[in-house]
Structure 1
Amino acid sequence: MAVSSTELGTLSIKDLLIKQSVPASIGILFMSVNILIDTIFVGQWIGSLAIAAVSVVLPITFLISSLGMALGIGGSSIISRALGANNREKALHTFGNQILMTLGLALISVFGGLFYSDEVLLLFGANGAIMEPAKEFFIPVLYGVPFLALCMMGNTVIRAEGKPKFAMIAMIIPAFSNIILDIVFIKLLNWGMFGAALATSISYFMCFAFILWFFIFKSELRLHLKHYLLDFKIISEITSLGFVTFARQGVVAILSIILNHTLFVYGGEHSVAVYGIISRMLMFALFPILGVTQGFLPVAGYNYGAKKYVRVSESISTSIKWAGVLATIIFLVILVLAEPIVAVFSNDADIIKETPNALRIVFAASPIIAIQLIGAAYFQAAGKAIPALLLTLTKQGFFLIPLILVLPNYYGIFGVWISFPIADILSTIVTAFFLKREMNRKLTHAQDGI
C-alpha cells in the first residue's frame, strides 16, 4: 500500500524508507535500463559512432528537462514540510506554481535549442563525424522534452504525497514503451537515429499522460484555478531550493562539454564512445543508491517540517548505512564482470579492450558515495538551500571539472578516468564534515516537537 502523507511522521523510519526507497529504486532501475538498452540498440544496430552521438545529445536534453526536476524537488521540499505542518493550502499553491513555471521554462528552452541547434551541439562536443548522427537524434528528442520536464516535476510531487508506487509506475511506462518502439523503429523499420529519437519522444509523452491521470484521479492535491496564481514568495522559495538541482545538472552539462572535448582531443570519437558506455553504467548501476536517496527526501522533509528531529537523524543514519552496503556490492560486481558488461554494448575491438579498466577506475570509490548523496539531500529536504547547493556541487563542480582540466595534460586518457574516484573521495570528506556538524548542532540535541 502507498504511504499517506500523515504516515510519513508516524511509521517507523525503517518501514518508511523501505516503502519509499524500493519503489523509487525500481522506477530508477527501469529508467536506467531504458537508457542502457537504448545505448545497446544504437551501438549494435547503428554503430559505435551512434553511442558517441547519444552521449553528446542526452546531457543537453537532460539539462532542459532538469528544469522540471529542479522545480519539482524544490517545490516538493516545500510541499513535504507544508503537509508536515498541516498547511495544505500552501502545498496546493506551491504545486500550481510548479506546473506553470516548468511548462514556461521548458518551452522557452526548447525554442532556443531548435533555433541554435548546430551551435549547441558543437558546444557539447559534436566534433568531427559525430555531428551528423547527433543532429538527427537531437531535433526529434527536443520536441518531447517539455513532456519529460513535466514528468520529472510531477514525479517528485507524487513522492512528496507519500505515494511512491505511482511514481515508480510513471518511470516504468516510458522504459517499456521506449524499448518496444526502439525495436520497431530501429530494427524493423530501419529508421536509424531518427527512429531512436522518435521512440524516446513518444515514451516521454506516455509518461506525461500517466502522471496527468494520477493528478486528476488519485492525488490528494486537487488544484483549483486560484492555486495557479503566481505567488512570488513561493516562487522565490521554489527557485532557491530548486536551483540546487538545476545547478547540479548545469554543472553536469559543463562537465559533459569538457569531457567530450577532452576525450576527443586525446582519443577521438572512439574515446567519446567509451565514456558513453561508462556514463550509462553510472546511471544504471547506482540505481539502488539513488532510490534510497529519493526515498529519504520526503521522509526527512516531512519530519523536519513536523520538528521531529530525532526521526530526521535516524533517517539519515539508516539511509547512509543501507546505501553504503548497496554501493559496495555494486562495486564488486563491476570489478568482476567489467569485460562481459562492455561486450554487450559493442563489437568494436578497441572499445572492448579499453572500456573495462576505465569502468573499474571510475567506480573505484563508489562504496563511499552514499555519504555525499544523502548528506546533500538532507540539506535540501530541510530547506537549507545554500549548504545544499554547495554540497551538491562539490563532486562535479569543485573537484571533478578541475581534475579533468589538469590531469589529462600529464596522464592522457588515464587522467580522465582517475579524476572520478579522486573527486568522489574529496567530496565525501567535505560532505561528511558538514553533515556531522549539522547533526550535532541541530538534530542530536533537539527534542521532537520543539
Structure 2
Amino acid sequence: MKKREAMLANDSIGRLIIRLSLPAVVGMFVNGLYNLVDTIYIGHSVGALGIAGLSVSFPLQMLIGGTGAMLGIGSASIISRSLGAKNYKRAERTLGNNIFSVMFLGVAFAVLGKLFLDDILKLFGATANILPYAKDYMAVIFLGSPLILFAMSMNNIIRSEGAARTAMASMLIGALTNIVLDPIFIFILDMGVRGAAIATVLSRVLVAGWISHFFYSGKSIIKPKLNQIHPDSGIIKEILSVGFPSLLQHASSSFVFGLINNLAGIYGGDLAITIFGISNRVIIFSSMSVIGIAQGMQPIVGYNYGARKYYRAAKAVRLSNLIAMGICGAVTVLLLLFPKAALHLFTSDTNVLEKGPAALRIMVSGFFLMGYNKIGGVFFQALGKARPAFIINLARPILFFVPLLMILPRIFGLNGIWLAFPLADVLSYLLTMAFLLPYERRLKNQYIQTQGDTP
C-alpha cells in the first residue's frame, strides 16, 4: 500500500483533516488573492469605476472557475474512489479524460469571449460607464481560459490522492507571481485593468508548469499518459454527473451576482455596484477557509467510502462541519465589528466608505452558517451522490436567493438586496441539515452491518 493510501485508510480522522485541510486552506486563501489583489490595486489606481468593472467581470470568472471545479471535483471523486478500490487503470483513464475536457472547454471559452464579449458584459450589469473597464479585463481572461481550467481542475485531482501540500504549493506559486506582476503591469507599464488580467493569466503559466512537473516526477500515484487523453463517454459522463453540482453552484452564483449588479444599478447606481463588488470580494475571500476544509475532507471521505470504512467517512464530515462553522462564526463577528476597515483596504472613496459599512454588516450577518452548507455539498460529491449534491449546491443561489432578490428590493429598496444574503444562508443551512443528518446515520448503520460495532 502506498504511503498516502495508508495515511487515508489508517490515520486518525482529526489528524487527517488537519493534515489535508491546512494546506488546502492556505492554498485557497492564496488562490483568493488573485481577485483580492487585483481589486485592491485597481481600487487605488483606476478608482471606483475600475472596481465596478471587476464586479461585472466576476460572474464570468466564476463560470470559468466553475467549469474547472466541475472537471476537477468530478475527476477527483472518481480517482479517490478508484484508488480506494485499487483500480489504478480507471484512475489513469479519468485523468486522461480530464485533460481532454480541459483543452476542449478552454478553447470554447476563448472563442465565446472573442465573439460576444460586449453583449455578455451588458447582460451581467455593465453600464455605459463601467463597460470599458470590464471589457479590458475579461478580454484577457477569456483568452487565458485553458490555463485557468487546467490549474483549477488539476489541483483537485492532486488533492484526491492526498498530496495536499503539492496542491497548496501550486496555488502559492500562482498567487505570489500574480502579486509581483500586478504592480508591474498596472502601475509601471500603466496598463490599468487590462494589466491586472495579464498578470493573472501569466501567473497560471507557472502553475501549469509546476503541476506538470509533479505528475511526471514520479511523486504522484498516477500520471498522465498520452494514449489516455481521448474521450471515454462513460468516464466523461460520470465526471460531469458528479462535478456538475459544482458548475451549477458557480453558474447559479454567477447568475445571481449578475442579477445583483443589475438590481444595484437600478436601486443605487454605479456606487451600489462598487459597494457590492468590494463586499462580495470580502465575503468570498472569507469563505476560502471553508472551501479548503471541504477540499481536505474530500479524499478522506471518498477513499474510506470506497474502502467500505463507512464510520470514518461519517466522522470526517462531522469534524469538518465543527471546524468550518467555528471559523465562519469568528469571521462573522470580525466583519460585524470592523466593516469599514475591510472596505478601506480596497478604496479611499468617501462615498463607498460612508455607505458601504451598513451594507456589509447586513450581508455577513448569516455568514456563520455558510460552512455547514459548503461541507455538506462536497461530502455528497465525494461519495459520488450527484442528486443530493445537486440540490444542496443549487439551493442557496437559485431556490432561495433569486426569489428573495425578486421580492425584497421592492419592499426595502437597496437594503432588500443586502438582506437576501443572510436569509439565503439560513434557508440553505436548514435544507443541508435535512439531507446530511440522515445520511450520517446511514453510514454509521452500514458500518455496524459490515463490521459489527462502531470503533
SS at match of 1:393: helix
Question: Which residue in the other structure is 2:93 paired with?
Answer: 93
SS at match of 1:345: coil
Question: Which residue in the other structure is 1:308 paired with?
Answer: 309
Question: Which residue in the other structure is 1:438 paired with?
Answer: 439
Say yes or no: does 1:47 pair with 2:65: no
Is the Cα contact below 8 Å between 2:82 and 2:306 reproduced in 1?
yes
Task: Tell me how far apart the structure 2 counterparts of residues 228 and 132 of structure 1 sit (CA, whole Å).
Answer: 39
Is the Cα contact below 8 Å between 2:8 and 2:303 reproduced in 1?
yes
TM-score, normalised via structure 2 length:
0.96
1:448 Cα shift? Answer: 7.8
Deviates more, 1:410-419 or 1:329-338: 329-338
TM-score, normalised via structure 1 length:
0.97
1:441 Cα shift? Answer: 2.7
SS at match of 2:345: helix
1:223 Cα shift? Answer: 3.0
Please tell me the residue identity of whatever aligns with 1:139: A
The Cα offsets for residues 356-384 of structure 1, whole Å up to 9 and x where unpaired, read as 12112111112222221111111111001
1:65 Cα shift? Answer: 3.5
Is the Cα contact below 8 Å between 1:251 and 1:396 reproduced in 2?
yes
Task: Tell me how far apart the structure 2 counterparts of residues 207 and 264 of structure 1 sit (CA, whole Å).
Answer: 37
1:355-434 correspondence runs (5 A):
355-434=356-435
Aligned residues: 449
Which structure 1 segments of 5+ residues have no match? none
Say yes or no: does 1:236 pair with 2:206: no
Is the Cα contact below 8 Å between 1:65 and 1:146 reproduced in 2?
no
1:32-181 correspondence runs (5 A):
32-181=32-181
1:141-290 correspondence runs (5 A):
141-217=141-217, 218-290=219-291
Task: Tell me how far apart the structure 2 counterparts of residues 33 and 403 of structure 1 sit (CA, whole Å).
Answer: 30
1:6 Cα shift? Answer: 3.4
Task: Tell me how far apart the structure 2 counterparts of residues 416 and 296 of structure 1 sit (CA, whole Å).
Answer: 33
Please tell me the residue identity of whatever aligns with 2:440: M
Is the Cα contact below 8 Å between 1:97 and 1:227 reproduced in 2?
yes
Is the Cα contact below 8 Å between 1:308 and 1:448 reproduced in 2?
no
The Cα offsets for residues 347-405 of structure 1, whole Å up to 9 and x where unpaired, read as 11110011112112111112222221111111111001011101111111110111112
The Cα offsets for residues 121-169 of structure 1, whole Å up to 9 and x where unpaired, read as 1111111200111111111222212101000110000000100001001
1:447 Cα shift? Answer: 3.1
Identity %: 34
Which structure 2 segments of 5+ residues have no match? none
Please tell me the residue identity of whatever aligns with 2:24: A
Task: Tell me how far apart the structure 2 counterparts of residues 40 and 222 of structure 1 sit (CA, whole Å).
Answer: 38
Task: Tell me how far apart the structure 2 counterparts of residues 377 and 237 of structure 1 sit (CA, whole Å).
Answer: 16
1:92 Cα shift? Answer: 0.6
Is the Cα contact below 8 Å between 2:24 and 2:164 reproduced in 1?
yes
Please tell me the residue identity of whatever aligns with 1:110: A
Alpha-carbon distance change, 136 to 223 in structure 1, aligned in 2, over 3 angstroms: closer
Deviates more, 1:52-61 or 1:146-155: 52-61
Please tell me the residue identity of whatever aligns with 1:275: F
Question: Which residue in the other structure is 1:6 paired with?
Answer: 6
The Cα offsets for residues 36-59 of structure 1, whole Å up to 9 and x where unpaired, read as 121111001111100010111122
1:255 Cα shift? Answer: 0.7
Alpha-carbon distance change, 449 to 143 in structure 1, aligned in 2, over 3 angstroms: farther
1:8 Cα shift? Answer: 0.8
Please tell me the residue identity of whatever aligns with 1:364: S
1:288 Cα shift? Answer: 1.8
Task: Tell me how far apart the structure 2 counterparts of residues 447 and 101 of structure 1 sit (CA, whole Å).
Answer: 40
1:181 Cα shift? Answer: 1.0
Task: Tell me how far apart the structure 1 counterparts of residues 287 and 3 of structure 2 sit (CA, whole Å).
Answer: 25
Is the Cα contact below 8 Å between 2:113 and 2:143 reproduced in 1?
no
Is the Cα contact below 8 Å between 1:75 and 1:238 reproduced in 2?
yes
Please tell me the residue identity of whatever aligns with 2:416: G
Is the Cα contact below 8 Å between 1:66 and 1:152 reproduced in 2?
no
Question: Which residue in the other structure is 1:339 paired with?
Answer: 340
Task: Tell me how far apart the structure 2 counterparts of residues 449 and 161 of structure 1 sit (CA, whole Å).
Answer: 26
